[in-house]
Amino acid sequence: MSRIVLVLLMLVATAGAVVAYGDPAQIARAKNHVSHFLGHRGSLAPPPAVEIARGHGGEFAFRAKINGVSAPMVIDTGATSVVLTWETAKAIGLPTDMLEYNVDLETAGGHTKAARLTLDRLAVGKLVEKSVPALVVQRGQMRANLLGMSFLDRLESWGVRADKLTLNGYPELADRRAK
């Protein structure tokens, strides 16, 4: 419900900014968008959810799509950020040689350096987030890619029950999802 209120406030603020600039075409488009939204406010698609089974070693491992390329990942709620190995970053086409490795990072294996970047798109099943902050560690410093809190904090909720981790996204407007 609070997400709907937030969207309404954003639409009102946008309409106000358009009116302030006085462009009649923009005002008409804003009016149409607000009218369309208000007419469909009850048509929310069910929230996307993804379940990941616990592996034999106790971890929640899966394959994600990073910028459209499939890569193995492990859920790590202790990681502040999504963290990619150098090898994965190279495989998905990130400019590993141009990155500045100036972030101190403590891992299970000890201290290392990492580089900050933003992933255009990170998908875990039906859950898709854009512009996700991430780190890339130097070559050979880690064996697994970590799905940390820079992704998990964007979800409506996540939790573990028995041997399943469930990630829940936010509900979306049905006509937005169809586009």
Model confidence pLDDT, tens digit, residues 83-110: 999 999 999 999 998 999 999 998 877 8
Give the architecture (CATH level 2) of 49-172: Beta Barrel (2.40)
4 vs 81: which has the higher pLDDT: 81
122 vs 23: which has the higher pLDDT: 122
Q: What is the predicted pLDDT for the residue at 45? A: 72
For the chain, give every domain's residue range.
2-42, 49-172
Whose tokens are 């299970």? That residue is: 108
Is the distance from CB of 115 to CB of 102 less than 8 angstroms?
yes
Q: What percent of the chain has pLDDT over 70?
A: 72
Per-residue exposure over 77-86, b if at least 16 CB sit within 10 Å of its own CB, e if not: eebebbbbbb
- pLDDT higher than 80, residue 33: no
Taking residues 45-58, report their average pLDDT. 91
Distances (CA, A) of 139 to 58, 118, 126: 26, 19, 30
CB within 8 Å of 143: residues ≥ 6 apart: 85
